[in-house]
Amino acid sequence: MAQALIEPLLASGSLEPDQVLAVVGRPESAAALKQGVFARCIIHAAASADSAEVLKAPLQLLAIKPQQVELAAASFPAVEGSPLLVSVLAGVTLSRLQRLFPSHRVVRAVPNTPALVGQGLTALAWGENISPSQRQKVQALFSGVGEVLQLPEEKLDAFLALTSSGPAFVALVAEAMADGAVAAGLPRDLAHRLAHRTLAGSAALLDQRQLHPATLKDMVTSPGGTTIAGVRALERGGMRSALMEAVIAAAERSRELA
């Protein structure tokens, strides 16, 4: 997730390489990351003595597996100046972060992978004693890759389930639609491209015209036509219920991780 956030900012020039210090788990991961837009950044493995440099940074982005947070915290010595720690860890609460990183001021961020193409969504929940300038820095970081919202922490699990897990659900829909088009006679490459463009165009129409999804559905369906036949098949297969349960399951898993 950290790479998805920083890569487009480096590519656009919003961040300069000398402003970025990355610490990753293993030497081979550090070597692999030193490619493309990250080639001029400073990258260390966690085992390196030089990795402690990251603790001097005024804004630190924590992007590890939630199960690793205790281990990571144990390697963070006390630091001066109350640097800002921005966590993108699912389910790890502000109170837990503050307990694990007492020298830091903490923020929870829930971004999603469309940040890679500047179409991200990020929710922010603030810890205590965050200064206006620190808030501005965090908002500027995530605004560079999409839209930023501020939400109460208790809303983050639902936000994550819809926006962070959602791209995977949409990808499954895209794949299934393309498979259906292949079954109906289209070549595979063309079916994928058309499925992606159909999803992107439909999302843009819903968003830009502020349409309720049912309105768009009704615009497309005509009596006895092809679309209503397809909608009937989707209803028979329980698609809406399955997607609802997927979002709820993702939100519940986020709460379990807490």
- pLDDT for 6: 84
- Locate tokens 């997607």: which residue? 243
The per-residue pLDDT for range 183-212, each reduced to its tens digit, is 999 999 999 999 999 999 999 999 999 999
The per-residue pLDDT for range 112-148, each reduced to its tens digit, is 999 989 899 999 999 999 989 899 989 988 998 999 9
The per-residue pLDDT for range 28-44, each reduced to its tens digit, is 877 887 777 787 777 77
HSE at residue 15, side-chain half, CA atoms within 13 A, is 24
Residue bearing the bigger pLDDT, 98 or 26: 98
The per-residue pLDDT for range 150-190, each reduced to its tens digit, is 999 999 999 999 999 999 999 999 999 999 999 999 999 99
Give the pTM: 0.87
Residues 6+ apart with CB under 8 A from 39: 17
Mean pLDDT across the chain, nearest whole number? 90
User: Is 26's pLDDT higher than 90?
Assistant: no
User: Is 234's pLDDT higher than 70?
Assistant: yes
- pLDDT for 82: 83
In this structure, the number of other CB atoms found within 10 A of the CB of residue 93 comes to 19
Give the domains, in start order, of the chain with CATH numbers. Answer: 2-164 (3.40.50.720), 166-257 (1.10.3730.10)
In this structure, the number of other CB atoms found within 10 A of the CB of residue 20 comes to 19
